[in-house]
Structure 1
Amino acid sequence: MAVKTNFSSNNLKDILCNYNLGELVFSNPITKGTVQTNFFIKTTTRKLVFRYYENRTKESVLFEINLINYLQEKKYPCPTPLCNNYGHFIGIYDDKPYVLFSFIEGEHIENPTNNQKKQLIRKVAELHNITKGFKSDLSQYRLNYNVEQCEKLAKESAEKINTFNSQEKLKWYIYQLNQLALPSSLPKGICHSDFHFSNVLFHNDEFKALIDFDDANYTFLTFDLVCMMEPFKSTFDWDTWDKFSLEDDVFDFSKAKKVVLEYSQYRPLNEFEKIHLFDLMKFGILIDCIWYFERGKVNDFFEKRKIDYLDKLGRENFYQELFG
């Protein structure tokens, strides 16, 4: 259910009048995705993707477009935003921004092969090489992943839920944030932050493009790396965690090690990044906790259990499992 706003053929024809892209032939809603509304469009001259931003400001979208244009200049494989007849990439419909992108031929692979996984890891490392230190005055309009932002969002979630459990969970959350060691020397840049299979395109077994930079933000570069690592066993998940005891071994570092080794071929980690990968792993879990703040009781819930297991393992053992 990705289409939250319906667009008739006449609506899309009116929008296309602002572009030199031919006449509308047909359009179909794109059902993959969960936040923004997307339509596939075929005109008399080309194929397009119409993206309607349901919950983003124009400034936030402009950050995304400027980033994508920068990546295009560096020959990075991603969609091309299209300019309208007035020289603008962003249009406004019913007070919300939209962008037309070139359509990229490819497939979304739900269960990628090892070769496809390696290609994605390489492209993520290349993304980080390109965007390391990327600066934009529009970054302030994005949801940048940092400790201050997380505390703010957690407080908002606790206040919105407004229960004893949410207030107690907030205390636990702030305590955990304060335990993180994330020195300012850790490299920062733009992370994509959402490698769901629907955001990666392959064609004939070859990586074609990384799409949907809706969650891209300025943060620690290793944030994307820990998102791909996932050192927890596949059987340990949000709907099975309570079947495990604190004495159980829930780690399987084989996948995580492969991800780190592959990534490091294209962007070697410095020693600071290796040491604090433990903290970034916990940081990623705490970000997940924000999106599911209402889930679980404060004394024991999925994200807390993951943090507890990591603390039990310890920073040194975590490091040795990956780099020893």
Structure 2
Amino acid sequence: MAVKTEFSKQQFIEILSDYTLGDFTAFKPITAGTVQTNFLLQTTQGTFVFRYYENRSMGSVLFESDLTQYLKKKRYPCPAPLKNSKGRYVGTHNEKPYIIFEFVEGQHLENPDAAQTKQLIQKVAELQNLTRNYKPRHTKYRWNYDLALCQQLAREEADKINTVQAKEKLAWFEHELSQLILPRSLPKGICHCDFHFSNILFQNGEFKALIDFDDANYTFLMYDLATLIDPFLPSFDWNSWSHFKPGENVFDFSAASQTVMEYTRHRPLNNNEKSHLYDVFKLSIMFDCVWYFKRGDAKDFYEKRKIAALNDLGREHFHAELFGKQKRNVQPKRGDGKEGCRS
């Protein structure tokens, strides 16, 4: 159940009194999602989505409001935030922020087909085209995915757990993070960072909207692409990885290479990006490790095995599998600086 805060009919009547969206008639909780509280609101003018932020600062929510306004002006398919009678897009209730969004008709597909997957990849690439170098005013209030944040969050998790296992995992984590090469010249912009099926709407087989920008942030433009590719065997997963021996092949690049090919049809990658997709992909795994820091033994766990497999594979082989078998010079460039970790 995604609803963490209950609302009454009278409370919604009072909230809607600040808007020109018609008179309240009904409401219904939205059970999809796990973090924020969402309701469908019915008024005499139509249906709207009320999103109540349980654990986000006002600055973080203003980031989302600014971003979705920007995207709607660019005609990107996402729900528009609606302003109240004072011209504000973000309100507060019991000291927590909320936004009322337009309602978009559509269905969540748990298993989209090949054509629908291509549509999603296209819309992801278009998102990055539109937001390259775009930095909303409240960007500093978001977790913007980079090396420094990744290290900071891992240290906080290790301190919170405060066990020998956690300290050992952190030592491995910081070593692997230090091996990533992410030049400052890599283009940045806004990535959505959460393509769970519940955040994508289709209608009559066609992509309708990308919703829920709760995790969106200013990061490497390739980060969304990195989260879409999965070069590992389907049988090598968080609950089955231990069935494989260290050093055993765990890769199948067929789907990942198709994803990269489709993405680059809509947003071509420069040579620098192609070379460092290896590092951004590893960074996405390191963030997964942060989210599941308690999981697994420090000596051998899912994310550690994935990173070890990538280390054994190497940058050049990873590049060749995704961008073509012909031999290319994919040595990392160090001359234009590297994003550093906090020490």
Letter in 1 for 2:296: G
How many Å separate the matches in 2 of 1:209 and 1:199?
8
Give, in angstroms, the shift of residue 247 of structure 1.
Answer: 3.2
1:248 CA displacement = 2.1
Q: Distance in 2 between matches of 1:231 and 1:41?
A: 42
Alignment partners' CA distance in 2, 1:278 and 1:80 = 35
Greater Cα offset, 22-31 or 174-183: 22-31
Given the two structures, how large is their TM-score scaled by the length of structure 2? 0.93
Structure 2 counterpart of 1:226, one-letter code: A
* Alpha-carbon offset, residue 137 of structure 1: 3.2
Aligned residue type for 2:236: F
Equivalent position SS for 1:140: helix
Q: Is contact 2:27-2:41 (8 Å) kept?
A: yes
- Alignment correspondent of 1:95: 95
**Partner SS, residue 285 of structure 1:** helix
Match of 1:213 in 2: 213
Distance 1:201 1:249 in 2: 36
Q: Which stretch has the larger CA shift, 134-143 or 46-55?
A: 134-143
- Report what 1:189 is aligned to: 189
The code of the aligned residue for 2:139 comes to S
Q: 1:37 aligns to what?
A: 37
Q: How far 1:25 moved relative to its partner?
A: 1.5
Letter in 1 for 2:238: W
Instruction: In structure 1, list runs of 5 or more residues that go unmatched.
Output: none
SS at match of 1:276: helix
Work out the CA distance in 1 between the residues paired with 2:9 and 2:188: 43
Aligned counterparts of 1:59 and 1:31: Cα–Cα separation in 2: 26
- Is 1:281 the equivalent of 2:281? yes
One-letter amino acid of the counterpart of residue 105, structure 1 = E
TM-score, length-scaled by structure 1:
0.99
CA distance in 2 between partners of 1:239 and 1:302 (Å): 8
Shift of 1:12: 1.1
Aligned letter for 1:216?
A
Match of 1:115 in 2: 115
Deviation at 1:141, TM superposition (A): 0.2
Question: How far, CA to CA, are the matches of 1:3 and 1:218 in structure 2?
Answer: 28
The equivalent of 1:73 in structure 2 is: 73
Using the alignment, how far apart are the partners of 1:137 and 1:30 within structure 2? 30
CA contact (8 A) 2:191 2:216 kept: yes
Deviation at 1:60, TM superposition (A): 0.8
- Secondary structure of the corresponding residue to residue 98 of structure 1: strand
Tell me the CA shift for residue 11 of structure 1: 1.4
**Same amino acid, percent of matched pairs:** 56
User: Where does 1:308-323 land on structure 2 (aligned, <5 Å)?
Assistant: 308-323=308-323
Find the counterpart in structure 2 of residue 53 from structure 1: 53
Residue in 1 aligned with 2:177?
177
Contact 2:200–2:211 (8 Å) recurs in 1: yes
Deviations 1:47-87 (A, max 9, x none): 00000001111111111111111111111010010011111
**Cross-structure match for 2:252:** 252
RMSD after superposition: 0.8
Give the structure 1 partner of residue 335 of structure 2.
Answer: none
SS state at 2:54 partner: coil
User: Unpaired segments of 5 or more residues in structure 2?
Assistant: 325-343
1:136 CA displacement = 2.7
Deviation string 1:97-130 (CA, Å, 9 cap, x unpaired) is 0000000000000000101000000000000000
Tell me the secondary structure at the aligned position of residue 70 of structure 1. helix
